[in-house]
């Protein structure tokens, strides 16, 4: 396997258990989102992945974020595209290993940005996307998007997020709706994080699709 990861095996045995893949945010690691895996549906096999770029102090990134002299942030699109390809290959490896009934992809922040990109570059590789505190970066999308995509999306964002403005997040449901892709969007009165009621909301969304 090309990326490091941790697994929580299903707590109830079912044939071809559905797979939930977790992609952490910038500067974090595979333990971060894995910490709530115990609270997620028992029948899921949960795989939490470590991003490929080591930025020190136990933190990893899917791609570099740089600042110019005026403190403007910009993303390393080359690294981001390379990470999308790595995640795609990793999902292929997991599918060969486990033959899951359905595949869910859950990303937080940078992980959410890449979850959008992966689902639109590789049609139906994943059936369901949970995008938390991220946005849809059009620089990572293909020049034309397949009409055959059936993936649906759960999107949520903190209304007082100081890292990724909520206005950026609001563009995603609009963009997806224009492609006739099913999506559910909600905002919570928090910053760059997941409120407890947000957690229960996406857990329910996942549950209803198992």
pLDDT tens column, 165-175: 999 999 999 99
Assess whether pLDDT exceeds 60 at residue 192: yes
Residues with Cβ within 8 Å of 97's Cβ and at least 6 positions away in sequence, in order, are none
Mean pLDDT across 47-54: 97
Residues with Cβ within 8 Å of 159's Cβ and at least 6 positions away in sequence, in order, are 166, 187, 188, 189, 190
What is residue 1's predicted lDDT score, i.e. its pLDDT?
Answer: 73
CB crowding 100-139: b at 16 or more within 10 Å, else e: bebbbbbbbbbbbbbbbbbbbbbeebbbbbbbbbbbbbee
Please state, as a whole number, how many other Cβ atoms lie within 10 Å of the Cβ of residue 74. Answer: 10
Helices (H), 57-191: 77-98, 110-121, 166-178
Structural domain boundaries in the chain: 5-207
Is 3.40.50.1820 the CATH number for 5-207? yes
Q: Which residue has the higher pLDDT, 72 or 5?
A: 5
Share the mean pLDDT of the chain.
Answer: 94
What is residue 115's predicted lDDT score, i.e. its pLDDT?
Answer: 98
């Amino acid at each position: 396997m090309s990326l490091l990861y941790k697994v929580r095996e299903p707590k109830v045995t079912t044939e071809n258990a559905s797979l939930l893949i977790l992609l952490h945010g910038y500067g974090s690691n595979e333990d971060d989102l894995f910490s709530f895996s115990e609270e997620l549906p028992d029948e899921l096999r949960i795989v939490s992945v470590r991003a490929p770029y080591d930025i020190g102090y136990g933190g990893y990134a899917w791609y570099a974020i740089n600042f110019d002299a005026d403190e403007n942030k910009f993303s390393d699109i080359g690294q981001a595209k390379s990470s999308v390809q790595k995640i795609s290959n990793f999902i292929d490896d997991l599918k060969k290993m486990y033959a899951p009934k359905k595949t869910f992809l859950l990303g937080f922040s940078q992980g959410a940005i890449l979850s959008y990109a992966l689902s639109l570059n590789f049609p139906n590789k994943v059936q369901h996307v949970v995008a938390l505190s991220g946005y849809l970066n059009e620089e990572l999308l293909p020049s034309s998007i397949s009409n055959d995509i059936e993936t649906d999306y759960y999107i949520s964002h903190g209304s007082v997020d100081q890292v990724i403005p909520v206005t950026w997040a609001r563009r995603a449901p609009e963009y997806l709706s224009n492609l006739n892709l099913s999506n559910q969007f909600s905002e919570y009165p928090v910053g760059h994080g997941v409120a407890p009621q947000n957690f229960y909301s996406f857990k329910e969304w996942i549950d209803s699709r198992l």
